């Protein structure tokens, strides 16, 4: 029996189809990750404004409940000057003062946002 030498296949590089498939897959992965990244950045900015509004709003409500804030509206001190507040007081049935506080700000995309707080002063 004679042995034939095995045919050697040339493998000098990738075929055109392999290159096109690889580039298509890479493009798809980049598109998915860039969309996810953009959504993550947008959500982070929204949450940062909301958390900041909650913290400074709770502080302002505490000032209003203690009576140490004489004004009924204004801006917060820097670095929170983009946040505004206004309050309204009404007398509850038990004689206590009900305080309604609204904190507003504009998101980076220009959309207005607001948070509502309620407290009491006896």
- Compute the distance between CA of residue 54 and CA of residue 75 in angstroms, rounded to an integer: 15
Between 51-60, 77-86, 108-117, the lowest mean confidence (pLDDT) is in 108-117
| Cβ-contact 54, 101 below 8 angstroms | no
How does 23-50 read in b/e, with b if 16+ C-beta sit within 10 Å?
A: eeeeeeeeeeeeeeeeeeeeeeeeeebe
Per-residue DSSP letters for 46-106?
A: HHHHHHHHHHHHHHHHHHHHHT----SEEEPPTT-TT-EEEEEEEE-TTSPEEEEEEEEEE
For residue 8, pLDDT over 70 is answered with no
Beta bridge partners of 105: 113
What pLDDT was estimated at residue 45?
Answer: 85
Residue 88: pLDDT band (50, 70, 90) is very high
- Calculate mean pLDDT across residues 33-40: 91
pLDDT at 114: 95
């Amino acid at each position: 029996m004679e042995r034939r030498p095995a045919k050697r296949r040339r493998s000098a590089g990738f075929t055109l189809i392999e290159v096109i498939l690889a580039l298509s897959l890479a493009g798809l992965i980049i598109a998915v990750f860039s969309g996810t990244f953009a959504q993550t950045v947008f959500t982070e900015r929204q949450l940062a404004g909301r958390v900041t509004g909650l913290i400074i709003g709770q502080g302002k409500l505490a000032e209003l409940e203690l009576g140490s804030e004489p004004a009924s509206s204004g801006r917060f001190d820097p670095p929170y000057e983009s946040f505004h507040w206004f309050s309204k007081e009404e007398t509850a049935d038990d004689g206590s003062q009900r305080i309604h506080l609204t904190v507003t700000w504009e998101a980076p995309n220009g959309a207005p946002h607001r948070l509502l707080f309620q407290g009491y002063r006896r």
